[in-house]
Amino acid sequence: MSVGISSLAYAVRRASETTPQPLKHGHASQLVAAALGYNTLAAHQAAVAEGAESEHLDAAAHAVLDEALLVDRAAELSLPQSEAALVELVRGAFKTELPGTAFHRHDDALSDALRDLVDYRVYNHDQTSSAMASTNNDGVDEIYLPLDLTLAELPPPGEVFELEIDGHIAMKPDIERPYSGHKIGVRCSLFIERVSRVAIAEPEFRLETAKLDYNWGDGDGDGDDEPPKVPLAQALAEELGITLEEAGELVDVEPMAIEGNDAMVYRYVFDFADAASPELQAKLLEKHGSLQHQVPLWFFEQVATEL
């Protein structure tokens, strides 16, 4: 059986019968129309007739009910129930009639849910798994796939909106093994169809690319740009969490290469004991617990000066 405004209003009315102040069917219909984003039931019916609104909500996967408009409409109808009671009554009826729909309180919550969907689909895609396997990593450091969506920007029912997303997955480099890249540039899309002013169908996901980028720069994620070079003092300041002036005390320290059993260099170690002032030594000990500091091989890719 299809779920539309009539069945939803019936569910609201039936649920209200267990309360001290049951609703009339006409009032229940007006509240449902308001929750669907329409000032009146007549406005909703006109939108359905014009094709600007779906008659049925069976395909709704995510919805953001217009609770503010619902409250306003209840006030116009001079309904005696409290605002909170009416909102929960209507939300409960929607959840009962549409158990497969996720109801969100606001657009930000909807965006969060879609972002979780994108993160999951990207992370578990074969192309991403292959790119991650190409790195010598110690787990995922960050998934950054920015997504911001409001229902108001979507086209009417029957049209599909493509939401393009550019971001990356950053892996934690394993400093015990040779560096082989840690940033995976990601491009993907969500295809979103509105089924109501307040609801969308389950989005379709498509991964365009998930490609390992050996740079950690501001490029497009394709690995074609050279990473930006900075002075060693700046790189040390960012690495150690100290000021640029303090890092200037340390730039003459020669890093020591740490080799594995295979004679390959796996990381470098700085020993700042003889170079740092007493004040800076105290700061480094407080921050890092040692005057020796290890950095991975890729640390020097950003440094303008050569070893």
Span 225-277, pLDDT tens digits: 455 678 888 888 888 889 999 999 999 999 998 776 556 666 788 999 999 99
By DSSP bridging, strand 183-196 and strand 204-213 are: antiparallel
299 — pLDDT class (breaks 50, 70, 90)? confident
Quick one: which H or E segment has residue 92? helix 83-97
pLDDT exceeds 60 at position 125:
yes
pLDDT tens, position by position, 192-213? 999 999 999 999 999 988 888 7
Which 8-state DSSP code applies to residue 303? B
C-beta separation of 118 from 204 below 8 A: no
According to DSSP, the residues that pair with 204 across neighbouring strands are: 191
> What are the boundaries of each domain within the chain?
5-103, 107-213, 232-302
Number of C-alpha atoms within 13 angstroms, CB side, residue 306?
0
- Tell me what the pLDDT averaged over the chain comes to: 86
Contacts of residue 142, defined as CB under 8 A and 6 or more positions apart, other chains included, come to 168, 169, 170
Helix (H) or strand (E) holding 199: strand 199-200
Residue 133 identity? A
Percent of the chain with pLDDT over 90: 54
- Chain-centroid distance of CA 192 in Å reads 16
* Residue 301 or residue 257, greater confidence: 257
Q: What is the pLDDT of residues 63-116, one digit of tens each?
A: 999 999 999 999 999 999 999 999 999 999 999 999 999 999 999 999 999 999
Q: Return the number of other C-beta atoms located less than 10 Å from residue 194's C-beta.
A: 21
Looking at residue 216, its pLDDT comes to 45
Is a pLDDT exceeding 60 seen at residue 218? Answer: no
Q: Which two tokens stand for residue 7?
A: 């069945």
Report the helix count and the strand count for the chain, using DSSP H and E.
10, 10
